[in-house]
Amino acid sequence: MTRIAENVQKVRAQILAACQAAGRDPREVQILAVSKTRTHEEVREAFGTGLRAFGENYVQEGIEKIQALQDLPLEWHFIGPLQSNKSRLVAEHFDWVHSLDRLKIAERLSAQRPEHLAPLNVCLQVNISHEASKSGCSEQEALDLARSIATLPRLRLRGLMVIPAPTQDAAAQQAILAQARQLFQQLKQHLPALDTLSMGMSDDLEAAVAEGSTLLRIGTALFGPRPSKP
């Protein structure tokens, strides 16, 4: 078995155990394989283990991989910060955007989504840990913004994305994840079609499953440590 195949097996076992502990149906929890910095050969190998959804943070890098892997039935998610001058490329090449936090960009994506493609799936990114340096709207803004995005014709609002601030304090981590779950439940009361809580990475996937995540964004645990940037 290859290294990636072994890692995928381990992560699947971890998710299964977390679902059992939380009394959740494992079919409700999907893996988004975060492939930033990885080669298209590595993505191809991950596809061979059954993974279908891949996440990219950088527009150009993502599009190169999308084009190199066109022979595979993959689903591509854009999860990095999105600037308005890159929105057209994202609308034309990706299936999902997780990092939507402004109405202006949502309107651009909707206008730029090509007619021959299905509506673009989007998640509203919420800055749940109130980090000054991070993208994401505030919890107070989330409902109004979600309602406006839900009216855009070429977008399909699927849910929320959060990136909690890293912490060693397990109780603090759990509290932040619980807050995200609560906000997601609140939004669902107004927008019942929402079905996605994009939450949890390699280091907090068990806690995220316990707090209702439906989509885990996992890089390191699948592909190994990322090469550090020069």
Ligand X SMILES: *Cc1c(COP(=O)(O)O)cnc(C)c1O
- Name the minimum Å distance from CB 223 to ligand X: 8
Largest CA distance in the chain: 49
| Tokens 């195949």 found at | 5
Structure tokens at 139: 């919890």
Contact residue for ligand X among 121, 129, 202, 214 (CB under 6 A): 202
Count residues binding ligand X (CB under 6 A). Answer: 13
Stretch of 21-29, 61-69, 145-153, 218-226 contacting ligand X, by CB under 6 A: 218-226
Which alpha helices (H) appear in 75-219, and where do they start and end?
Answer: 87-93, 103-112, 139-150, 170-190, 205-210
Which residue from 142, 158, 160, 139 is spatially nearest to 211, judged by alpha carbons? Answer: 160
Contact residue for ligand X among 219, 224, 229, 230 (CB under 6 A): 219
- Name the minimum Å distance from CB 205 to ligand X: 8
Contact residue for ligand X among 12, 36, 102, 134 (CB under 6 A): 36
Query: What sign for the dihedral angle of Cα 176, 179, 185, 186?
Result: negative
Stretch of 43-51, 89-97, 105-113, 198-206 contacting ligand X, by CB under 6 A: 198-206
The rounded radius of gyration (Å) of the Cα atoms in the chain is: 17
Task: Map residues 80-119 to x or -, x wherever contact with ligand X holds by CB under 6 A.
Answer: ----------------------------------------
- Residue number of the CB atom closest to ligand X: 219
Q: Are strands 155-162 and 96-100 parallel, antiparallel or unpaired?
A: unpaired
Residue 214 engages ligand X in binding (rule: CB under 6 A): no
- Burial bucket for residue 153 (CB in 10 Å: 0-12, 13-18, 19+): exposed
Q: Which positions lie near ligand X, rule CB under 6 A?
A: 34, 36, 57, 79, 163, 201-203, 217-221
